[in-house]
Amino acid sequence: MGTTKIRVISVSHQRKRKNRYSIRLSNGEVFGISGDVLLSNPVRVGDLLDHHSMEKLIELECLNEVRESALSLISYRMRSKKEIVLRLHRKGFTTIQIESTIAELEKKGLIDDEKFGLFFARDNVKRSLLGPVALKHRLKSHFSSFEIIEKICNNIYQEFPIESLIRDIINKHSLNDLKNHSKNKKRLISKLKRKGYCWNDIEPVLKYYNI
């Protein structure tokens, strides 16, 4: 038994949607397709499409939607691969479609976890003077790999030495108040710990300032 083929009776541009086309078939079916997919897989009036050809077009269109969604996400700001995958899953795309899209965008350098991680860490350390404990906690929301988190932190705290960051925080306070009032010293230590610094890093700097 031969494969049934359906004739394309029109290919028309959609007025209200940019770069979208409607393909109307002789059996009454109509489906939409993006200009990018149509360009790489031309469909013309009079063409005969079988079930396999239509499935291929629909799958390519789905992949294009995933790609456009991913590109839209990274157009606003840099994002980690983990964040993009989660957002695409919420939109209802399949794991296979997402993995294929992520691999393509990584190959093109549009998704780069190490680059994003350094940007994210640098921004948090410069803006909030975060210590390693707090920074690692924030990085965990973007990375599942302990090795990547450690690598990012090692690089960042070479660029921004921990001792210098602690000094910057201390210098925002009156040294006399810290030296002469134990409550102020305790508040400072609590603040440094909340920002993610360990006592082993805090103590030497306090001794340096004779606090």
For the stretch 78-134, pLDDT in tens is 999 999 999 999 999 999 999 999 999 999 999 999 999 999 999 999 999 999 999
Question: Does 65 lie in the same domain as 10?
Answer: yes
| Residue bearing tokens 């541009």 | 13
Contact 87, 52 (CB under 8 A): no
Contact 84, 73 (CB under 8 A): yes
Residue 5 pLDDT: 86
Question: Residue 8 pLDDT > 70, yes or no?
Answer: yes
Question: Residue 1 pLDDT > 60, yes or no?
Answer: no
Q: Which of 53, 73, 107 is the last residue of a domain?
A: 107
Question: Does 86 lie in the same domain as 32?
Answer: yes
Q: For the domain that residue 64 is a member of, what is the CATH number? A: 1.10.10.10
pLDDT band at 144 (very low <50, low <70, confident <90, very high): confident
Residue 179 pLDDT: 87
Q: Which of 86, 107, 128 is the last residue of a domain?
A: 107
* Model confidence, pTM: 0.73
Number of domains composing the chain: 2
